[in-house]
Amino acid sequence: MENELIHKEETRDDTAAKLGMWIFIFTELLLFGGLFIVYSVFRTQYSREFHQAALELNVTIGAFNTIVLLISSMTIAMALTALQKNNKKLSLRLIGITILMAFVFLVNKYFEWGAKFHHGIYPGSELMMKFEHGHLLYFSLYFFMTGLHALHIIAGMVLLSVIFFRIKKGIIHSEKYVFLENGALYWHLVDLIWIFLFPLLYLIT
């Protein structure tokens, strides 16, 4: 075992780890890509209903969440810079802020969804079943896309928390930070998808 460990240390290949992460990101992009295909098809078929349905969303909440995610994306990028510069304390603080931002995003989302639920708009609800076709499809897409995105936010929070403790313990450090780099890549992906979701769902009025 001892020998094997040393051996692994020798052959450590950060480029491979990063390439693997990027390929994983490709699969995530195409996963959402499938949803964007469905969106485009229905958007062209029911553009009038989509415009009207989008009026029911609150642009301010959406914009606020966009800003939150953009800032968190920067803080996680800075956390990497900080670790590379061997500033562990700053790095930890920045990751903490990122996780906090993610939490703010989710709370915001919770209230946004909660308000819709309160008005009887949720997938499979009686009210939604009575909607015009385009209207129904818009809200189905809205819940599906933002729901799947929220799941990714949660996954990202878990990942970043693991990284946070690993940095604290010194497993990830200024000489060996590819795990943080990959975690950050994942977080940027979540941000990247939101950048497209926001105008497509909120700004088509």
Partner 1 sequence: MINATTTMESVSYLDHKGKYKGIFAWIFATDHKRIALLYLYAISTFFVIGAILGLLMRLELISPGQTIMTAQTYNGIFTVHGIMMIFMVVIPGLSAIFGNFFLPILIGAKDVAFPRLNLFSWYIFITGSILAVLSQFLRSGPPDTGWTFYAPYSTATGTNVIFATTAAFVLGFSSILTGLNFIVTIHRMRAPKMKFFSMPLFPWSIYATAWIQVLATPIIAITLLMLIAERLFKIGFFDPAYGGDPILFQHMFWIYSHPAVYIMILPAMGVITEIIPTFCQRKVYGYKAIAMSSLAIAGVGYLVWGHHMFTSGMSETARWVFSLLTFIVAIPSAVKVFNWLATMYKGSIDLKPPLLYALSFIFLFSIGGLTGLVLGSLATNIQVHDTSFVVAHFHYIVFGGMGFGFFAALHYWFPKIYGRMYNFRRANIAWGILFVGFNLLYFPLFIIGMQGMPRRYYDYLPQFQTGHVISTIGGIILIIGLFLMIRNLVLGARKGAKAPANPWNGSTLEWQIVSPPPQENFDEDPLIKNNPYDYE
Partner 2 sequence: MSENATHITEYKTLGIVLVTLLFFTLITIVVTSFDLAVWNVVLALVIAGTKGFLVVTYFMHIKYESLLLKILVGMVFFLFALILVITFIDYAYR
Which residues bind to partner 1, rule: CB under 8 A?
1, 13, 15-16, 19-20, 23-24, 26-35, 37-38, 41-42, 45-46, 123-124, 129, 132-134, 136-137, 140, 143-144, 148
Residue 63 interacts with, from partner 2, partner 1, none (CB under 5-8 Å by kind): partner 2
φ, ψ for residue 176, nearest 5 deg = -145, 90
Residue 144 interacts with, from partner 1, partner 2, none (CB under 5-8 Å by kind): partner 1
Sequence-separated (6 or more) residues with CB below 8 Å from residue 96: 164
Whole-number minimum distance, CB 61 to partner 1, in Å? Answer: 22
d(CA 163, CA 41): 39
Residue 16 interacts with, from partner 2, partner 1, none (CB under 5-8 Å by kind): partner 1
What is the distance, to the nearest Å, from the Cα of residue 184 to the centroid of all Cα atoms in its chain?
Answer: 11
Calculate helix-pair angle for 14-45, 178-202, nearest 10 degrees. 10
What tokens appear for 33 in the block? 């890509």
| Residue ranges of E strands in the chain | none
Residue 195 interacts with, from partner 2, partner 1, none (CB under 5-8 Å by kind): partner 2
- Cα 66–Cα 101–Cα 140 angle in degrees, nearest 5: 50
Instruction: Give the residues lining the site for partner 2 (CB under 8 A).
Output: 12-15, 18-19, 22-23, 26, 29-30, 33, 36-37, 40-41, 44-45, 59, 63, 66-67, 70-71, 73-74, 77-78, 80-81, 84-85, 175-176, 178, 181, 184-185, 188, 191-192, 195-196, 198-200, 203-205
